[in-house]
Amino acid sequence: GILGNKPASGTQIIEELGQEHVKTGKPILYTSADSVWQVAAHEQSFGLERLYKICKSARILCDELQISRVIARPFIGNPAEGIPFKRTYNRKDYSQLPFGPTYLDQLVAKGVRTTGVGKISAIYAGKGISESFETKGNVDGLKVILRELDAKKPGLIFCNLIDFDMLYGHRRDVSGFADCIEEFDGYLASIKEKLNEKDLLLICADHGNDPTYSGTDHTREHAPIIAYTKAQKHSGIIDLGIRTTFADIGATVAEALLGYKPEVTEITGQSFLKEFFH
C-alpha cells in the first residue's frame, strides 16, 4: 500500500503522514506544481536503497506520462522522542531523458569537458556530463567549484546550489535565506579571484522561490541572470534585458567554449556573449 497520493508540500506531508509511514512501512507519494512525482520514506525504518529501487521502477512507469522527474525524498527523525522529521541530502532525482540533443551534448561531442556539481547530472539523466560530483548542500558545492578552478581544467563547471530552494525558499524562512545569500557572497569573492581572463561566470536561477510569500510552492518572479568576466572591454554594468528564453544562457556558454554559436535544431537560444565585447 501507499500513503498520500495527492498534491502536497514535501515538508508538510512528512509531518502529516510520517509517523503512519514509520508504523506501516507504506511509502508516501505526492506531487506538486512541477512536473514531478515524489516518494518520501524514512531512511532508517524504510531504508535508502529500498526507496531508490522504488523510484527507479516509478521512473519507468512515469515515462509514458512524460513526467519530468521522479524524486526520492528520504527523511529522518522521531517525533515521539522529540526529534522532528527532517529531509536529508540523500535525495535522488530520476529524470526523463531529454527529448533531443542539448548544448551539453554538443559540447561533449566537440571534446569540451563538462562537470556537473550537485544534482546537475541527475537533471539531464547523465547526458552531456563528462564528470559529476554529488554534494550535500551549498558549501559542499562551492568548495567543489573552488577545487575545480584550482585544477585549471578548461571546460564547463555547472553547479546547482540547492539550499536556497530546499532549506529556505519552500520553508519560507526569510532569515535563513538571507544568511544563505551572505554565505554564498563570502565564497563568491574567492571564486572571482580564481577566474582567469578567459573565464565567464554566470549566476542564475531556474525559478522564483520567495521566502516572504505565502504557501510552499515556487513563485513566479523573473529569474535573474548575472554575468561576469575579466575580459569585458568596458567598465560599468551592462543591461542584458529580459531574455526571451532560458536557453540564451546555454547558447552563451556554448559560444564561449566553442568559439562559435553551434548549429541549433531542436533547441533555441540567442547568445549574449557579444554584449561584453562591443
Phi, psi at residue 38, to the nearest 5°? Answer: -115, 140
Q: Are 30 and 13 in contact (CB under 8 A)?
A: yes
Provide the grid cell at 36. Answer: 514531478
- Contact present, 202 and 249 (Cβ < 8 Å): yes
Question: Which residues are bridge partners to 201 per DSSP?
Answer: 228
Domain boundaries, given as residue ranges, for the chain: 3-95, 103-276
Q: What is the largest CA-CA distance in the chain?
A: 65
CATH fold of the domain at 103-276 = Alkaline Phosphatase, subunit A (3.40.720)
Grid cell 567598465 in the structure block, residue: 235
User: What are the backbone angles phi and psi of residue 122, rounded to the nearest 5°?
Assistant: -65, -35
Contacts of residue 157, defined as CB under 8 A and 6 or more positions apart, other chains included, come to 115, 117, 145, 148, 149
CA 101 to chain centre: 20
What is the rounded distance in angstroms from the CA atom of residue 216 to the CA atom of residue 212?
10
User: For the whole model, what pTM was predicted?
Assistant: 0.86
**In this structure, CATH architecture of domain 3-95:** 2-Layer Sandwich (3.30)
Q: What is the pLDDT along the chain (278 residues), one digit of tens a residue?
A: 999 999 998 989 999 999 999 999 999 999 988 899 999 999 999 999 999 999 999 999 999 999 999 999 999 999 999 999 999 999 999 999 998 888 999 999 999 999 999 999 999 999 999 999 999 999 999 999 999 999 999 999 999 999 999 899 988 999 999 999 999 999 999 999 999 999 999 999 989 999 999 988 899 999 999 999 988 877 778 899 999 888 899 999 999 999 887 766 556 788 999 888 75
Rg of the Cα trace of the chain? Answer: 20
Given this model, what pLDDT does residue 211 score? 95
Q: Give me the amino acid identity at 126.
A: G
E strand map for the chain: 3-7, 28-31, 36-42, 69-78, 83-87, 92-95, 114-117, 131-133, 156-159, 201-204, 225-228
